[in-house]
Structure 1
Amino acid sequence: MLQKINLENVLFLDIETVPEYPYFDDLDTEEKTLWEQKTKYQRKEEFTPEEFYDRAGIWAEFGKIICISVGYFANKGDLRQFRTTSFHGEEEQLLREFKALLETHFNRPHHLLCAHNGKEFDFPYIARRMIINGITLPFKLNLFGKKPWEIAHLDTMELWKFGDYKHYTSLRLMTKVLGIPSPKDDIDGSQVRNVFYEEGDIDRIITYCEKDVVAVAQILLRLRNERLLDEDELLHV
């Protein structure tokens, strides 16, 4: 089945998220109460709501997207090329730009969106933040009323499960066991909040996000038992 997919019809993506506000004290009283209730079981007795707030980017209700990186194959005969680009800046604007890409270039039934753990994180997070920002969902993210086989989403973590619903494998672990260069050679997801709010280094985050996109594409190639992308086949546009 995977071998039948035309890779040029796949849009690979990854998102980077941070807490919506830099600090816990920036939340109003009701937001603080809702945050405490939302994270009660995750925090247990180990952290106070304030101590746990640096993880708020995980939840779309308390976080925001600061970068969406995408990648796609642009092959010419036997020559492969994988192009990456990123949307960043003010959240509403980057979401609108990403939506325009979907509706302009990846709006056909055979087009697929692909991410690692995308069905549990990236796809629903983007959809929730679009709704919060008053943006009508593009067809590829609007799942209301669709049957499972009508949802054009690929998830490399789900593909790796082979039916094991309890199995979680991080992107870093998958790249390691599959012999793919690690995208985590600078920062990881736990550091994005500090790099964004404390260092103000969005370029570093973009580079990290695009490396994850390349890693997802490499994983799909390995699952298809195809040759990995070489450095000279990668192009940032």
Structure 2
Amino acid sequence: MIDKIVLPNILFLDIETVPQSEFFNELPEDAQQLFADKTQYQRKDDLTPEEFYDRAGIWAEFGKIICISVGYFTIKNAERQFRTKSIIGEEKQLLEEFNDLVKTHFSNPAFVFCGHNIKEFDIPYMCRRMLINGINIPEKLQLFGRKPWEIPHLDTLELWKFGDYKHYTSLKLLTHVLNIPSPKEDIDGSEVRNVYYNEKNIERIAKYCERDVVAVAQIFLRMRNETILNESEIFSVNE
């Protein structure tokens, strides 16, 4: 019953990740071997671990978070606004800042998180990186011992599956079929590593991440059969 959820009680979020080091040979020898072991079933026979290392950012053991973007609705006098904010910087710093945001503004039991594939990627990735960085995981992200209906996370990928657990739909495809403006106006996920390490343009990545957050919010509105946001209703706190 997603139509019963109060919009300002939802924190929409998305993360961007990259390999921990720019180059494979910068990893310690034991880490190189562990990466080779971890990826041996994903790699084709003609791909070495070094050639496959571009994709290391998808694993929390070999990647790191470089941006967390969030978005939230405000409604005043029946007028709604959607505000986005990006947290960037060193990984431990941005994770601590995100924790502070959650504890200060979104710790109430009524609040929930929402993202696309958030249950299988964003949330587990953040929890693992918090542990690696020695950061206490906020209660909102702790799922141990909770029943499925007690988990305060909404996943637009899961909602779109309608119980079909074999089905995967990308964010880009879902915006297309729901007639939502595509969030992929500049770069896509495959280019984030290059923009981060070669262009050193974290601001460009943050804007890309925020567009994904807006796209998730738009999908959620369409799933409630509500009018999607127009440009005049969307604001970036970073600008």
TM-score w.r.t. the length of structure 1 is 0.99
- Alpha-carbon distance between aligned partners in 2 of 1:187 and 1:179, rounded to the nearest angstrom: 20
| Corresponding residue SS for 1:137 | coil
Per-residue deviation at 1:142?
Answer: 1.1
CA, structure 1 residues 163+50, in 2 after alignment: closer, same or farther (shift >3 Å)? same
For 1:120, the equivalent position in structure 2 comes to: 120
For 1:92, the equivalent position in structure 2 comes to: 92
> Any unmatched runs of 5+ in structure 1?
none
Matches within 5 A, 1:44-123: 44-123=44-123
The one-letter code of the counterpart of 1:45 is D
For residues 89-147 of structure 1, the C-alpha deviation after alignment (integer angstroms, 9 at most, x for no partner) is 10000000000011111101111000000001001001100000000000111112222
For residues 132-176 of structure 1, the C-alpha deviation after alignment (integer angstroms, 9 at most, x for no partner) is 000000011111222211110000000000000010000000001
Runs of 4+ residues over 4 Å off in structure 1: none
- Alpha-carbon distance between aligned partners in 1 of 2:77 and 2:59, rounded to the nearest angstrom: 43
- Alpha-carbon distance between aligned partners in 2 of 1:99 and 1:146, rounded to the nearest angstrom: 20
Aligned length: 237
For residues 150-203 of structure 1, the C-alpha deviation after alignment (integer angstroms, 9 at most, x for no partner) is 110000000000000010000000001111111111100000000000000111
- Alpha-carbon distance between aligned partners in 2 of 1:37 and 1:4, rounded to the nearest angstrom: 46
For 1:28, the equivalent position in structure 2 comes to: 28
- Alpha-carbon distance between aligned partners in 2 of 1:47 and 1:199, rounded to the nearest angstrom: 26
- Alpha-carbon distance between aligned partners in 2 of 1:147 and 1:132, rounded to the nearest angstrom: 26
- Alpha-carbon distance between aligned partners in 1 of 2:58 and 2:118, rounded to the nearest angstrom: 13
- Alpha-carbon distance between aligned partners in 1 of 2:191 and 2:58, rounded to the nearest angstrom: 13
Per-residue deviation at 1:77?
Answer: 2.4
For 2:6, the equivalent position in structure 1 comes to: 6
Tell me if 1:224 matches 2:227.
no
- Alpha-carbon distance between aligned partners in 2 of 1:47 and 1:226, rounded to the nearest angstrom: 47
- Alpha-carbon distance between aligned partners in 2 of 1:12 and 1:30, rounded to the nearest angstrom: 37
For 2:201, the equivalent position in structure 1 comes to: 201
The one-letter code of the counterpart of 1:23 is F
For 1:165, the equivalent position in structure 2 comes to: 165
| Corresponding residue SS for 1:80 | strand
The one-letter code of the counterpart of 2:81 is Q
Question: RMSD of aligned C-alpha atoms?
Answer: 0.6
Per-residue deviation at 1:81?
Answer: 0.1
For 1:134, the equivalent position in structure 2 comes to: 134
| Corresponding residue SS for 1:134 | coil
| Corresponding residue SS for 1:121 | helix
| Corresponding residue SS for 1:65 | strand
For 2:17, the equivalent position in structure 1 comes to: 17
| Corresponding residue SS for 1:68 | strand
Percent identity reads 66
- Alpha-carbon distance between aligned partners in 2 of 1:47 and 1:122, rounded to the nearest angstrom: 27
TM-score w.r.t. the length of structure 2 is 0.98
- Alpha-carbon distance between aligned partners in 2 of 1:83 and 1:21, rounded to the nearest angstrom: 32
